[in-house]
């Protein structure tokens, strides 16, 4: 199931669907073997998995019937869910499926009344996501609701002949798009934020409006992680587990999809929620066949493929973090499930598991001879249309962003969502332009930054603190989500290879 969700996020639709169906069949077999007291949990996760499979089938085939079928399955999951949070999550996902079904119908019929149906389902989904505690999903849904309102206003404006009424509708659309953009930003959906900012300008220039199905792309059902899998874990029976040392761990990885031979950073944070101190002995389960611990710059030694924590003492509510880099040695799907071995105050040894994380290792599809020709290729990239730019500096920066994107994507083998990101000062040095192009005197964005962002040619993102840096850092790249920019990049590749 985790492999299916990873494939889903990187756009491998057919492979993802195949994994979902296989996982759903496996869960059905497990239901026949489970003890009666665990059947509700297993039934719920089976239904979630089956619903995801139907959603993926609907996405591949573009049929509203399959989205409606997924909605019905989520409603069945609501009936078997063991707690209120998962019941609300199932209801929210069902509403998202109905909204997707309506958007799929809109593609066929162009009936504007379907805007209202989509909006109603989004309102229901947002309420349930908030009640379930999924704030990011709720923000995405609220933002998309405002986006749909704006599309409806713009569609009405296109049909109006009266200039005053048309202007009023554009004004309403602008307000909704501004709110949608801020909500997408709050939820961390940067591409959707950029899309909202560009829509009104595109509409006024007479370009084709987005359709509801495009607005609903990247819906929050894809970004829920592996929550239903936690239904299979034991639940606390009471306060007795806090009377002794009780370590809870949180794990994060820098890259979940790796190229063969590349590395990912694993950050493990531990906290002692128990009333008694704990002595940390080692971390097991990091190294496995195909994943090897990088021993350079480690804070702790590695013995027998385990990280030796050297008896680190952790008091009540004290935290401790450990960072390890893993190198991939073979392609395939991996489940990273580290386990902390500790000794309590009474001298007894026990272990605590982190929540599992799925990793995917894929082979680079580019031969070395292809990669070596990138530098020659960069010099032959066609010029972008003059109408895209206001200044020569804007063109120079954009052309540099194209080159570094292709260098990362084609030579280094990075996936498109990771390729092309550069800091502002890196670009100042490499393009040899003054800092004022990016930083306005007295604060704010410089003229080049404003130009490229306003024209939808660039996107920016704040990256979290990194080792060796004083804090978060802003990076920019070409706006690969912009269909015109993507078409230009692909055309450059086709012309030269």
Indicate if 63 and 187 belong to the same structural domain.
Answer: yes
- State both tokens at 214: 């495009």
Q: What's residue 250's pLDDT?
A: 76
Indicate if 241 and 329 belong to the same structural domain.
Answer: yes
The answer, yes or no, to whether residue 355 has pLDDT greater than 80, is no
Q: What CATH number corresponds to the domain at position 355?
A: 2.60.40.3670
| Burial (CB count <10 Å: 0-12, 13-18, 19+), residue 188 | middle
Indicate if 299 and 213 belong to the same structural domain.
Answer: no
The answer, yes or no, to whether residue 273 has pLDDT greater than 80, is no
Confidence of residue 400 (pLDDT cuts 50, 70, 90): very high
Indicate if 329 and 401 belong to the same structural domain.
Answer: no
What is the per-residue pLDDT across 101-158, written as a single tens digit (0 to 9) for each? 887 776 566 566 777 788 888 888 888 888 888 877 888 888 888 887 877 777 777 7
Indicate if 344 and 419 belong to the same structural domain.
Answer: no
Q: How far apart are CA 234 and CA 213, in angstroms?
A: 39
| Domain finish residue from 304, 338, 362 | 362
Q: What CATH number corresponds to the domain at position 400?
A: 1.10.10
Looking at every residue in the chain, the average pLDDT score rounds to: 77
| Domain finish residue from 335, 362, 389 | 362
Q: How far apart are CA 275 and CA 246, in angstroms?
A: 8
SS3 track for 158-211: HHCCCHHHHHHHHHHHHHHHHHHHHHHHHHCCHHHHHHHHHHHHHHHCCCCCCC
The answer, yes or no, to whether residue 399 has pLDDT greater than 70, is yes
Indicate if 195 and 91 belong to the same structural domain.
Answer: yes
Residue pair 291/359 in contact (Cβ under 8 Å)? The answer is yes
Q: What's residue 305's pLDDT?
A: 83
Indicate if 351 and 375 belong to the same structural domain.
Answer: no
The answer, yes or no, to whether residue 202 has pLDDT greater than 60, is no
Indicate if 144 and 23 belong to the same structural domain.
Answer: yes
| Burial (CB count <10 Å: 0-12, 13-18, 19+), residue 217 | middle
Out of 91-95, 130-134, 346-350, which region has the weakest mean confidence (pLDDT)? 346-350
Indicate if 69 and 200 belong to the same structural domain.
Answer: yes
C-alpha distance from residue 251 to each of 104, 137, 227, 286, 425 (Å) = 38, 21, 15, 11, 32
What is the per-residue pLDDT across 175-193, written as a single tens digit (0 to 9) for each? 888 888 777 777 666 666 6
Residue pair 381/489 in contact (Cβ under 8 Å)? The answer is no
Global model pTM greater than 0.85:
no
The answer, yes or no, to whether residue 235 has pLDDT greater than 60, is no
Domain residue limits at 151: 2-227
Place of tokens 């012309």: 495
Indicate if 135 and 244 belong to the same structural domain.
Answer: no
Task: Decide which of 303 and 40 is more confident.
Answer: 303
| Domain finish residue from 362, 394, 429 | 362
Confidence of residue 239 (pLDDT cuts 50, 70, 90): very low
Indicate if 483 and 350 belong to the same structural domain.
Answer: no
Indicate if 6 and 58 belong to the same structural domain.
Answer: yes
Q: How far apart are CA 388 and CA 371, in angstroms?
A: 29
What is the per-residue pLDDT across 438-495, written as a single tens digit (0 to 9) for each? 988 877 889 999 999 889 899 988 776 454 444 568 899 998 878 888 888 877 766 6
Query: How many structural domains does the chain have?
Result: 3
Phi, psi of 287 (to 5 degrees): -85, 140
The answer, yes or no, to whether residue 394 has pLDDT greater than 90, is yes
Read off the pLDDT of each residue in 255-265 and give the average, rounded to a whole number: 81
């Amino acid at each position: 199931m985790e492999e299916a969700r990873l494939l889903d996020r990187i756009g491998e639709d057919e492979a993802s669907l195949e994994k979902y169906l296989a996982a759903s069949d496996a869960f059905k077999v497990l239901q026949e073997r489970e003890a009666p007291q665990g059947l509700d949990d297993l039934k719920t996760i089976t239904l979630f998995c089956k619903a995801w499979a139907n959603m993926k089938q609907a996405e591949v085939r573009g049929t509203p019937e399959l989205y409606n079928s997924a909605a019905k399955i989520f409603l069945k999951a609501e009936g078997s869910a063991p707690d209120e949070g998962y019941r609300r999550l199932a209801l929210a996902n069902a509403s998202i499926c109905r909204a997707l079904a309506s958007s799929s119908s809109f593609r066929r019929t162009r009936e504007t009344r379907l805007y209202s149906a989509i909006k109603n389902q989004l309102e229901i989904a947002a309420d349930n996501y908030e009640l379930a505690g999924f704030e990011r999903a709720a923000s995405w849904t609220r933002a998309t609701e405002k986006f749909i309102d704006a599309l409806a206003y713009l569609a009405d404006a296109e049909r109006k002949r009266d200039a005053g009424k048309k202007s009023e509708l554009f004004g309403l659309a602008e307000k909704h798009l501004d709110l949608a953009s801020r909500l997408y930003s709050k939820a961390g959906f940067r591409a959707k934020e950029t899309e909202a900012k560009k829509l009104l300008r595109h509409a006024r220039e007479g370009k084709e409006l987005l359709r509801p199905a495009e607005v609903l792309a990247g819906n929050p059902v894809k970004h829920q992680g592996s929550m239903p899998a936690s239904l299979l874990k034991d639940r606390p029976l009471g306060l007795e587990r806090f009377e002794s040392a009780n370590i809870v761990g949180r794990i994060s990885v820098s890259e979940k999809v790796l190229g063969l031979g590349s590395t990912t950073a694993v950050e493990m944070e531990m906290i002692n929620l128990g009333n008694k101190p704990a002595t940390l002995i080692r971390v097991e389960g990091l190294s496995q066949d195909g994943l090897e611990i990088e021993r350079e710059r480690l804070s702790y030694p590695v013995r027998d493929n385990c990280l030796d924590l050297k008896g680190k003492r952790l008091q009540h509510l004290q935290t401790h973090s450990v960072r390890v880099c893993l190198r991939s040695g073979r392609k395939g799907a991996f489940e990273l499930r580290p386990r902390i071995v500790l000794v309590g105050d009474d001298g007894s040894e026990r272990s605590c598991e982190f929540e599992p994380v799925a990793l995917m290792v894929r082979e680079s599809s580019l031969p070395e001879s292809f990669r070596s020709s990138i530098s020659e290729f960069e010099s032959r990239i066609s010029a972008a249309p003059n109408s895209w730019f206001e200044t020569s500096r804007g063109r120079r920066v954009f052309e540099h962003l194209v080159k570094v994107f292709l260098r990362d994507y084609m030579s280094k083998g990075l996936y498109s969502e990771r390729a092309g990101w550069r800091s502002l000062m890196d670009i100042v040095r490499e393009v040899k332009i003054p800092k004022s192009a990016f930083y306005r005197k007295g604060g704010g964005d410089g003229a080049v930054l404003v130009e490229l962002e306003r024209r939808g040619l660039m996107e920016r993102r704040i990256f979290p603190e990194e080792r060796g840096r004083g804090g978060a850092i802003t990076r920019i790249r070409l706006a690969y989500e912009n269909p015109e920019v993507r078409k230009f990049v692909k055309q450059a590749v086709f012309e030269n290879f």
